């Protein structure tokens, strides 16, 4: 099926956090292919920046005032943002007792507080656009977390909860339901992606739980954004991740046994 493209003058403006590399960069490329003006916010700016419709800015998304000033800059230069992709994320693979307090704060700030801040700042513009979207990139590890990823798992679990709470608020908004508002909310909970974030972690079974190609995932997310008729969507990849919510309904003892047999706890052992 041919890709359904919006008009080149559609005036879609997207903010992608953590867009300088990995999945975030692939999301930016995919959005740009749909004629979206993309603004990537990251702490690291790539050396090569000559990508059509993609712009890079240094920004600490966990700093409210910094994001607020960035919004003003974006509005003046590119127009009103109607698509927000909360993608930025960091991890810490270590026993919790060995993780410095500052590092715990940083993981939670970037992975959870950051998306809350960016959503709060851009939400009104997205709602007023009547054709916008909020996309949160969480992780299947926010549902079932292996050993030595406590702070990361907690942050991604919190992001899932944040997304669901905001989704319920939008569903309950009678004004939104009665209007022709086409706001979308997309939650993405992938397994291990082929990026730098978990480069030293080897997947226990490449057959059952293969690593995800970030380009393939990004294209699926953006395709869902523009082509799915559903306003609220959850994307889980690869296939096994769709089974996790059902597995989590089991008794805790069975979950522990399954985690042991799957090798997911061993996968993060002695990783830096």
Known catalytic membership, residue 152: yes
Burial 37-75 (b: 16+ CB within 10 A, else e): bbbbbbeeeeeeeeeebbbbbebbbbebeebeebbeebe
Structure tokens at 203: 């997947």
Q: Of residues 34, 152, 184, 192, which has the active-site annotation?
A: 152
Distance CA 231, CA 238 (A): 22
Structure tokens at 78: 């590119």
Answer for the pair 70, 59: CB distance below 8 angstroms, yes or no.
yes
Q: Of residues 71, 156, 184, 192, which has the active-site annotation?
A: 156
Distance CA 248, CA 255 (A): 7
Quickly tell me which residue has 């003006």 as its tokens.
37
Distance CA 158, CA 232 (A): 18
Q: What is the dihedral of CA 218, 211, 87, 105, to 10 degrees?
A: 180
Closest alpha carbon to 121 in 165, 73, 78, 49: 73
Distance CA 205, CA 252 (A): 23
Known catalytic membership, residue 156: yes
Closest alpha carbon to 187 in 230, 148, 146: 230
Tell me which residues are annotated as active site.
152, 156
């Amino acid at each position: 099926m041919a890709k359904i493209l919006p008009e080149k003058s559609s005036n879609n403006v997207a903010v992608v956090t953590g867009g300088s590399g990995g999945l975030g960069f692939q999301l930016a490329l995919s959005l740009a292919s749909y004629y979206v003006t993309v603004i990537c916010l990251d702490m690291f700016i790539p050396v090569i920046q000559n990508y059509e419709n993609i712009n890079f800015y240094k920004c600490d998304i966990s700093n409210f005032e910094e994001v607020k000033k960035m919004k003003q800059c974006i509005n003046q230069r590119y127009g009103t943002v109607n698509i927000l992709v909360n993608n930025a994320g960091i991890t810490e693979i270590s026993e919790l007792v060995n993780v410095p307090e500052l590092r715990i704060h940083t993981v939670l700030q970037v992975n959870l507080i950051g998306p809350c801040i960016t959503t709060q700042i851009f939400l009104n513009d997205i709602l007023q656009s009547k054709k916008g979207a909020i996309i949160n990139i969480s992780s299947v590890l926010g549902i079932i977390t292996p050993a030595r990823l406590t702070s990361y798992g907690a942050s991604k679990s919190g992001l899932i909860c944040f997304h669901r709470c905001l989704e319920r608020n939008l569903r309950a908004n009678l004004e939104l339901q009665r209007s022709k508002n086409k706001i979308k909310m997309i939650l993405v909970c992938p397994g291990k992606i082929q990026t730098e974030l978990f480069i030293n972690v080897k997947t226990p079974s490449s057959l059952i739980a293969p690593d995800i190609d970030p380009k393939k995932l990004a294209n699926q997310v953006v395709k869902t954004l523009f082509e799915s008729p559903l306003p609220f969507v959850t994307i889980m990849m690869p296939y096994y991740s769709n089974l996790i919510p059902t597995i989590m309904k089991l008794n805790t003892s069975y979950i522990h046994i399954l985690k042991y047999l799957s090798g997911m706890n061993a996968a993060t052992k002695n990783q830096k």
